[in-house]
Structure 1
Amino acid sequence: MEALKNFQVAEIELSYKSKVAAKDRPVANRSSACYELLLKNWDMDKIELVEQSKVILLNRANHVLGIFDLSTGGTCGTVIDIKLVMIAALKMNASALVISHNHPTGNLKPSTQDILITEKLVAAGKLLTIDVNDHIIITANGYYSLADQGDM
């Protein structure tokens, strides 16, 4: 019992502070709106150089709570870590999310891995009651929405 007296643990506090008024948050209820928002928040010097992944975090009304820069990879891949996606969504108290990544080659066709990670994200979201609304592959000249194309 003596050992427990000196045992210390970190205190965890949950909070959310937004600098954007709810009425001023953009709405991301269509893939085209998500694509426009992503392009405005993408480093255009890297869109044709390396793969990157971002997550749009949404409230119940599909208003954007924030965009999380998930990862930067190499020329032919980036890591979409399901745990990090869900940590970001939980921290923001998001009700839904849109995952995205770019294809530096300009090819909009999803890979088998793109479809598999989407399926895993949807399953994880169901456990946490966080909807995965879409997975959008972007290039400087267009996008591919897995939701619009029936791939999820």
Structure 2
Amino acid sequence: MKSGLLLPVCLLLSACALFHRDSRPAHAPPEEAARVQFPLDLPEDARTLEGGTVTAMQLALDDFRPLDLKPHKGATEEEQCLYQRESYDVTAAPGPEGVTFVQITLKPQLCEKQGPLMDMGATYAVDVKGRRILAIQH
């Protein structure tokens, strides 16, 4: 590489580091965390999800509603609701050949201020071992 190109390339690579998105969630400050009271045991109705199922759900949710997705400026209350992951239910089921199907559906009547909303979800076919989405059905 010519020495005249070295400096601009180094500057460009350094600038790219500024745009790196942290993939870990935010943590509360220590004083807030200290106020959390953990139960000795989880409640009887607690559910255990198999690791592959959780991975499939996470991959589908990261595609459907990325954590950094924000409502557009001037979004209505209904539109803001649609941007929230908490507004959706997630169901998963094993499929053939290592595929897990993940269905994401809007919780009934949660964001429906102006009437029923249609087609606000998707079904994903996820290859858990390959950590990739195979197909999406809207």
Asked which structure has the greater CA Rg, the reply is: 2
TM-score, with structure 1 as normaliser: 0.27
RCO greater where, 1 or 2, for CA within 8 Å and sep 6 or more?
1
Q: Which has the higher helix share?
A: 2
Normalising to structure 2: TM-score of the pair? 0.29
